[in-house]
Structure 1
Amino acid sequence: MRVHVTDLKPGDLLKNDIYNTSGLHMLMKGSVLSEDDISKLLQHGIDFADVEQSSNLHSNEQNLPSDQTRLLTNLFNDTIKGTESLFQEALEKGFIDESQVDEIVSTLTGQLEKQKDVVSLLLMLDGDIDYTYNHSLQVGMLAFYIAGWMGYSPEECLTVAKAGYLHDIGKSKIPSEILHKPGKLTTEEFAEMKKHTFYGYDIIKASTEDEVIAMVALQHHEREDGSGYPHGLRGDEIHPYARITAVADVYSAMTTNRVYQTKQELISVLCELYSLSFGQLNGEATQELIKHMLPNFIGKKVLLTTGQTGVIVMNNPADYFRPLVQTSTAFIDLAKERDIAIVEIYVQ
């Protein structure tokens, strides 16, 4: 089947050899196309290619099947309810039930191991549920994935997920009028807010006696350049799990609606994280997040600043954070059309 190069997808099988306009042999018949191959064809001005079309070719394989969506939706709702009860317990008693935490995290990660499309998971959590509980779930989830991408063992990944999930448990001790204040915090209020790191450490130590997980709660606002809090630690002074959790925390916070901040679009936040990885956030953890998230955007429906809707068809080799989008009437290369941007990415 003859397909325009912008409609090619990784995994397509070439039916014929491909040559450029100068007669140079580029790709061999029978090659299974990769994203780099498609980028190469675009760069050399190749317009069409003959490919073997399988039954599911060009279906939106990046989206989750409906039965998985229902299962995960129920799991996320149950997790958020469990998180709310843990925060209430921490507020009233000063400790939490570790067995409940272990059950929540074990059940959650057991399902996450089966999922590769992290973008769809985040889009499923893009609702009006209480920010703090939703955020705890997102950070635990992202920390789990980042640790796995960095090569940590399954046992270590589970610990990182648990630490990420509990990183903000200290906010249970922050007065609601500060935690949910729609405007900017005063100097005094921000000083109180920062105490959630100490509160979290104390709650976790009282509940689990796990120094590492407690340390993540204490250190997740520390920054590589020493600009963070509460102790202004730098680089390797920060626990590796806290460095992972910091990346997950910042990404989730910037992509979620809050009382004082409107969420930002997922890809543009990855671009901001890339900048932060040269000073504030751990470079390796940030790079792993970016590298594994970007392919998940292919096939996602988007809204552009022009009011048009379209589908991301390719990550752009010239600018990974400005992909190629196919609308009903045209292909829009956001790396070239700098005045056009993605406003929102939709779950389908």
Structure 2
Amino acid sequence: MRIHVTELLDGDKLSSDTFNSYGLHVLSKGTDLFAKEISKLYRHQIDYVDIVSRDNEPVSIRTIESSLSPKWLPNVEPIYQDAVNGCEQLFLEASQNGKIFEEDVIHTFQPLVDNFKMERDVVSMLLLLNTKDDYTYQHSVQVGMLAYFLASWLNYSEEEAVKIGQAGFLHDIGKCQIQQGILNKPEKLSSDEYEMVKKHTVYGHRIITDSFGESLAAIVALQHHERIDGTGYPNRLAGSDMHPVSKIVAVSDVYSAMISSRVYQKKRDLLYVLKELYRMSFTELDPETTHTFIRHMIPNFIGKQVELETGEVGTIIMTHSSEFFRPLIRVEERFIDLSIERDLEVKHVYM
């Protein structure tokens, strides 16, 4: 049975070898877990382990609870929802008055930073919190969080990362001036409707500039749909003309949009999403920014089940720093290294 380390009890026994995010062996199959061993798991930042089923405990129910509802979820879900609600209020304020207040932005966004910055598994976190409701506001919250994490991974200071997260949080504020019927339209937008939606970048820049003056957030609102090959909008900037933070928010924006449950699209498989980002890094998205994002997201797949194209189901136990999408997988008692067995591919990742 698979269980979160916070739910381990003294005397639990590992049913498989345990590795950290760097692929290093931490504890062996059969190890009895007590304070010393559990502490070691914490030190290696391991989230989940496989243990021998406990007596008189329904394995299937316990396994589902452990894999789908981490212990932190009940605590952070209200904070996330408060941020979504706060974002909606910011959009309403901007729609009615053409301005927002910086203290409202800080009050809404800072609790996310304070409560989420220690959560390593960004992959599971966003999927578990994501719903089909309030897409525009959830998307803004997610992009803010992702931009904060990505800025940290790119070695920005904590203060800078928070400012970048706030800029990501506000990147779509201009959509408050786009008709909801167009934003939530189930069918493909007409060319005229798409041109209207594209104006949200200009509207957002104006709202933020009127609120705070020319600022990082205003630049990001204007540039987050620009692309390094000059195919973006509204000004078809080349990569050399884009602000570095706009490149961070562009990557965060694309990732969040592709994993979301929108009215007109199904959620894509996460490995597919990251592969698509990788493809875009050679044309539309900044390579260094995108590859840093992928490099830090991929280790979050360690411990997750995958289905191979052969139909076999296994568990990712190690990822490679250069071969992003070819992990080491355990299938029953054997190991398959996809970086060596090039004819095999991961078909699906179970989250």
TM-score range, shorter chain: 0.7 to 0.9
1:284 equivalent in alignment to 2:288? yes
Residue 10 of structure 1 is matched in structure 2 by: 20
Gaps of 5+ in 2: 1-13, 49-65
- Which residue type is aligned with residue 320 of structure 1? F
- Which residue type is aligned with residue 61 of structure 1? I
1:61 equivalent in alignment to 2:66? no
> 1-side partners of 2:309 and 2:184: how far apart?
30
- Which residue type is aligned with residue 135 of structure 1? H
- Please, which moves more after superposition, 323-332 or 144-153? 323-332
> 1-side partners of 2:215 and 2:97: how far apart?
20
Residue 134 of structure 1 is matched in structure 2 by: 138
Residue 14 of structure 1 is matched in structure 2 by: none
For residues 188-227 of structure 1, the aligned pairs below 5 Å read 188-227=192-231
Q: Return the match for 2:121 from 113, 117, 122.
A: 117
Residue 181 of structure 1 is matched in structure 2 by: 185
- Which residue type is aligned with residue 125 of structure 2? L
Q: Secondary structure at the match of 2:327?
A: strand
Distance 1:228 1:51, change over 3 A: same
> 2-side partners of 1:207 and 1:132: how far apart?
21
Offset at residue 69 of structure 1 (A): 2.1
Gaps of 5+ in 1: 12-33, 39-48
Offset at residue 297 of structure 1 (A): 0.9
> 1-side partners of 2:306 and 2:206: how far apart?
43
- Please, which moves more after superposition, 316-325 or 160-169? 316-325
CA offsets, 1:267-311, max 9 Å, x none?
221111111111210111111111111111101245667777653
State the aligned residue count: 310
Q: Secondary structure at the match of 2:319?
A: strand
Q: Return the match for 2:301 from 272, 276, 297.
A: 297
Residue 345 of structure 1 is matched in structure 2 by: 350
> 2-side partners of 1:246 and 1:256: how far apart?
16
For residues 188-267 of structure 1, the aligned pairs below 5 Å read 188-267=192-271
Q: Assess if the C-alpha contact under 8 Å between 2:326 and 2:345 holds in 1.
A: no
Distance 1:81 1:344, change over 3 A: farther
Distance 1:159 1:273, change over 3 A: same
Q: Assess if the C-alpha contact under 8 Å between 2:226 and 2:232 holds in 1.
A: yes
Residue 46 of structure 1 is matched in structure 2 by: none
CA offsets, 1:127-150, max 9 Å, x none?
223211111111101110111111
- Which residue type is aligned with residue 269 of structure 2? E
Q: Return the match for 2:93 from 81, 89, 95.
A: 89
TM-score of the superposed pair, with normalisation by structure 1: 0.79
What percentage of aligned pairs have identical amino acids?
42
- Which residue type is aligned with residue 222 of structure 2? L
Offset at residue 126 of structure 1 (A): 2.6
